[in-house]
Amino acid sequence: MKIVINEMKKIFNLKMVCLLIVGSTIFYQRFIAFHIDIFPNGRPEQDEYNIMVQMIKDYGHSMDEIEVKDFKKIHEAKVAKADKFLSTNEEFNQLEVYSYEDYLKKDYMSLTDENYEKLTEVKWKYLDREEGRVFWELQVYSKLIESYEHRDEYLEDLPWGNYNNRINEIINNNENESILSWSVFMNYNNIIIYFAVCIVIGIAFMLTPMFLKDKKAKVDYIQYSSRNGRKLFKDKLMAGFLSTLIITTIELAVCFFLYKGNKTSMFFGSNINSRFNSSFWFDITFGQYIIITFVSIYIISIITAFITMFISSKINHYIVGIGVQVPTLFVIGGVTATILLNQLFSTYIPKYSTTVIYTILIIVAVLITKVSIKKERTKDINS
């Protein structure tokens, strides 16, 4: 164990740790900070967030037919408020807008008719004020009510046979009555995907020099001259594995700490199959989904670690290492960002496609590690 700890100290030398922190900070500022600092992102996303938080307070994590009637009454009260404002506002009255119904008609016509350009000007004058908040809210209320009323309508032409069975399960179990915003779900997805890519790059950066340093210093010749020295290969693998767990845990802890600032914990008990969100192969809550993505990142990190250590054990120069690692990271990062996390459990891809990809990557990592260990036992000192 002392050897493993000593190897870990080599991995976490001050220079490498400082470079990892600087690199991770730059990556965070470039790709992640926006999703943390700017959430909800403008309007009507801010209004949707506020309304759905209130929905959870009023109805819990799902909304049934009786509760949606109450929700519609709130919508009607908002319409009445907008009617009152418009009926007494001279600027809107000059444009023949006296009610919210008039407003919607004129606003729709302004999209294609330049004669209604004045309405657009007046509209945005008030949308940027407190008086205009009701119009943002009504836009959200209308969208949510329409989504709920059509909650049982899904795509019917996806090629995988068990898709329709899963959709029927969602409908029969009322999973689609869950209250979970698409913007909340996608905000988390964007954050966790970028953190995963950052972790993958960080692990590759920290572990690539692992075997290469010994080769550059000709230490490997001394190691191969004894049986105990050859066993050092396994100790290095263990050190790399434990270091990977440490790096991943620290970065995920930072991710969770930062994500807490987005204040989405009230949605953790909501089913991810909400009609306001999307459809998935499994009946799980948003909180459970978050836990699964964390576990997935550990798996991806460990796979990356063993592939990186395999590459490190085969190369003799840093330039070659960079040349091999860049396309490798591009593949792992790309698959992670597009399928392994972004499409995790989505019904828009075959049910077990992500599981198959994870399995293939795990098998590859295990095989190359076994082959490397076997070769180290019999490797010629002169080779």
pLDDT in tens, 79-89: 999 999 999 99
Question: Quick one: pLDDT band at residue 183, thresholds 50, 70, 90?
Answer: very high
CA atoms within 13 A on the CB side of 11: 31
| Confidence at residue 114, expressed as pLDDT on a 0 to 100 scale | 62
Record the tokens describing residue 12, joined without a space: 């976490």
Give the integer Cα–Cα distance in Å for 96 and 93. 5
- 337 to each of 98, 204, 322, 330, how far by Cα in Å? 49, 17, 21, 10
Mean pLDDT for 337-348 is: 88
Check if the beta carbon of residue 194 is closer than 8 Å to that of residue 32.
yes
pLDDT over 70 at 230, yes or no: no
pLDDT over 70 at 156, yes or no: no
Give the integer Cα–Cα distance in Å for 107 and 139. 12
Contacts of 335 (CB under 8 A, 6+ apart): 357, 361
Mean pLDDT for 131-144 is: 95
Mean pLDDT for 221-242 is: 75
- 123 to each of 33, 47, 87, 91, 107, how far by Cα in Å? 32, 17, 14, 10, 9
Mean pLDDT for 237-245 is: 97
For the chain, percent of residues with pLDDT exceeding 70: 90
Task: Determine phi and psi for 272, rounding to 5 degrees.
Answer: -75, -10
Sign of the alpha-carbon dihedral angle for 302, 303, 306, 309:
negative
Mean pLDDT of the chain: 90
Which one-letter amino acid corresponds to residue 126?
Y
Contacts of 165 (CB under 8 A, 6+ apart): none
Question: Quick one: pLDDT band at residue 251, thresholds 50, 70, 90?
Answer: very high
Record the tokens describing residue 363, joined without a space: 């098998």
Mean pLDDT for 157-167 is: 80
pLDDT digits (tens, 9 = 90+) for 5-15: 999 999 999 99
Q: Pick the more confident residue, 19 or 118.
A: 19
Sign of the alpha-carbon dihedral angle for 78, 81, 82, 83:
positive
pLDDT over 60 at 295, yes or no: yes
| Confidence at residue 373, expressed as pLDDT on a 0 to 100 scale | 85
Sign of the alpha-carbon dihedral angle for 232, 234, 235, 240:
positive
Q: Which helix (H) or strand (E) holds 155?
A: none
Q: Pick the more confident residue, 218 or 368.
A: 368
Mean pLDDT for 210-215 is: 77
Residue 62 pairs in a beta bridge with 178
